[in-house]
Structure formats: C-alpha cells, structure tokens
Amino acid sequence: MKIGTINTPAGKKALLCGSGELGKEVTLELQRYGVQVIAVDKYANAPAMQVAHKSYVISMLDGEKLRAIITLEKPDYIIPEVEAIATQTLVELEKEGYNVIPTARATFLTMNREGIRRLAAEELGLKTSPYRFASNYDEFVAAVKEIGTPCVVKPIMSSSGHGQSVVKTEADIDNSWQIAQEGGRAGAGKVIVEGFVDFDYEITMLTVRHIGGTSFLEPVGHWQKDGDYQESWQPQPMSSVAIDKAHEIAEKITTALGGRGLFGVELFIKGDEVIFSEVSPRPHDTGMVTMISQDLSEFSLHVRAILGLPIPNIAFHGPSASKAVVVHGDSDNVAFDNLEQVLAIPDTQMRIFGKPEVHEHRRMAVLLARGESVDDAKEKVRKMYEMLKVEK
C-alpha cells in the first residue's frame, strides 16, 4: 500500500457521501494517512465539510448530481456515511470501476430495511423479530392485525428513529401510518411492521472486515429513546455463549454484504439467545464510545480497513461510556457553557460536532468517559451532562 502527497499521481482521494459527526471523524482519520477528502451533504457547513479539503452541497438522492461530482473528482474511494443516497447510481458506478465502500450492494441492501431483513431472515436464516411489509394503508392495517399489538412501525428507508412509532392499540393505527409516511428518508412509501421482541438488552457488535480477516470489538450496550441513541457503553456484560453467537451472526451478515470496512451489527439479547435487528455498513453512532475506550476508534478501524492496512490488534483501555447531547428547540446559535466543570472529571472527553443549527431536536455533541466499571463510566457521563449548560 502506497499513499502519495495530495494532488500527485500517488495521492489518494476519498469522497464522503454524508458529512455529519460520524463522517467528520472518518475525514480526520483519512487525513492522518494523507488522503484527500471531498465531503458531500444536503446542507452547507456540515461537520465533515468543516475539516475536509473540498465540499459539495447536493441531495444525494439525486443520482445525476451525485454522478456528476464523482465523475469530476474521480475518487479512489466512495464512502457512504448515511442511508439516503441514490444507491442505484452507486451500483452503476461500481460496475464502471469505482470503489464503493464496503460495496455498492451492501449500501443498496442496508439503505432499505426490506433488503437487509430479507437477506438476514430469508437467505441467511438468522433469527429476527416477526415482520411484514406494507406498500399501502390497507396492507398496513392487515399487517398490524397479523403481527398483533403492540408492534413497531418503521419506514423501510429511514434512520435515527425518523418515522418510527409503536402501535399499542387499534386506535394508534392511523397515526402510526401517518408518522411513517412523513418520516421516510425518500418520502412516503413502504413500511415494515415488526412484532415486539422480548429481550434483556440490545447491543451493537462492531465488526471489522479487513485485509487480515474479520475482527470484533467488545460488545457495545446502549439505550434509545424514540429510536435514537442516548447512551452507549462498552463492554456490555454477556455470557460467553451469547458472545459466540453474536460473533457468528455478525460474521455471517457482514460476509454476505462483503467488502472491507467497519459494520455496526445491532442485536437483541435474551439470556444466551441472540436475535438479529439491523446492520449499518459504516461506523455506528453507538460506537462513538470507542473514541475513549480503545487506542483505535471505530473510525480509525474503518479507515485502516478501507485503505487495506493491517489491524494486528485492537487495544481496549477499559470500561467506558458515551452520552449524546440532544438539543431541543430552534436555533442557529447554539453554545455550550461550563465546560471547565464538565471536563474536570478525570478520564473524560467531549466532542462538539459543529452542526450549524437545530430544528425541533438534534444531536449536537457527545460526552465520553472511562471508569473503573461500566457503571462508574455511565455515572461520569451523566454528571457531565448535568453540569453542561446549553445556550440557544
């Protein structure tokens, strides 16, 4: 593997499709290896754009505009960092010789909940929650009756809880349909109706496919609110049987998707039983805890894998936790105060993402801590959160 200076024949160039806080960390890691980064997103001054060499503002669902930029820039690596992308265009570009990370097929399948669920349950035989798909209102009503209540409703194309709701009784059906139609990344359309899974806890099994094989990180536990992550911690205590099953499932799904890079495999755990939920072919928001728990964060590992560099070991520094700072309201002038108190706690860090504005609610920063135990680390980030003052 050889990387030359930017704008020389041996220089490398990466184009990032999505420029949020996760993309910002990937950009910084790429630059540490001297890779030129072009950041693309649907709004100006996105976090990754603030540190990239160049940026473009387009709707990444617009295949023609996305193709035009890629044809102009001729990147060595196309790195999707969000779900809302013209995936069919990426499939075509890959056939033309472009390198889509991890693969265009992986991006295509995981953008659409139907694609990844059918791969996991119907092709690979992985255990999942009971599910039905519905293309219109009548099919939706029938699916809810078949799955039973309570059940979870999600657009087949969405993320971070957008468009997600719970049907607890028949009275919720109309409202849940409306929420799903308004919350989909590509607008109104098909939904998935999932039966509730009885589980003890849920994890993200961060899995790296790299030049030397497949590696697993310590399991990341987390809790969500309205489908969006609030806290994560590492390691989540698990039985050895459950860990082995989680590794087996993660390896099966990531092998089926192919390519190199880091994947976030979401799993439900009930005792020693492991149930597949979802997978992202990119760094995961719950994995931000790795910025303090490991010598190589999930972003570092993603970039090493992409570049074909070895990952001989992953050094874990100890029990750690993260807490998302979600700001509510409407403002283009968010500020964080009392940081001298927040960061006075030993073994803590903070990342302020630099998002230009918030409407309704938005994740704007993350608090990180390492402790003697997972509970100690969680207590630290909660104390940090209490002391943090947010001005809008």
Q: Which of 55, 285, 287, 322 is catalytic?
A: 285
**343-382 as b/e: b if 16+ CB within 10 A:** eebebbebbebbbeebeeebbbbbbbbbbeebebbbebbe
Q: Reply yes or no on whether 218 is catalytic.
A: no
Q: Reply yes or no on whether 259 is catalytic.
A: no
Do 301 and 313 meet the contact criterion of CB atoms below 8 Å apart?
A: no
- Cα 160 to the center of its chain, rounded Å: 9
Q: Which of 107, 128, 159, 348 is catalytic?
A: 159
What count of residues does the chain have? 392
328-333 long-range contacts (CB < 8 A, ≥24 apart) are 328/358, 328/360, 328/361, 329/358, 329/360, 329/361, 329/392, 330/357, 330/358, 330/359, 330/360, 330/392, 331/357, 331/358, 331/392, 332/356, 332/357, 333/391, 333/392
Q: Beta partners for 368?
A: 322, 349
Q: Reply yes or no on whether 278 is catalytic.
A: yes
Q: Which of 117, 209, 363, 370 is catalytic?
A: 363
Do 79 and 101 meet the contact criterion of CB atoms below 8 Å apart?
A: yes
Q: Which of 278, 290, 293, 300 is catalytic?
A: 278
Q: Which of 21, 83, 172, 266 is catalytic?
A: 266
Alpha-carbon gap, residue 26 to 19, rounded angstroms: 9
Per the listing, tokens 């993402």 go with 353
C-alpha dist (Å) from residue 311 to 30, 68, 216, 253:
15, 35, 11, 21
Q: Which of 286, 290, 320, 322 is catalytic?
A: 286
Q: Beta partners for 225?
A: 228
Q: Which of 161, 195, 227, 354 is catalytic?
A: 161
Q: Reply yes or no on whether 62 is catalytic.
A: no
**Angle at Cα 159 formed by Cα 158 and Cα 165, nearest 5°?**
75
Q: Reply yes or no on whether 285 is catalytic.
A: yes
Q: Beta partners for 294?
A: 316
Q: Reply yes or no on whether 103 is catalytic.
A: no
Q: Reply yes or no on whether 360 is catalytic.
A: no
**Which residues participate in catalysis according to the annotation?**
159, 161, 266, 278, 285-286, 363
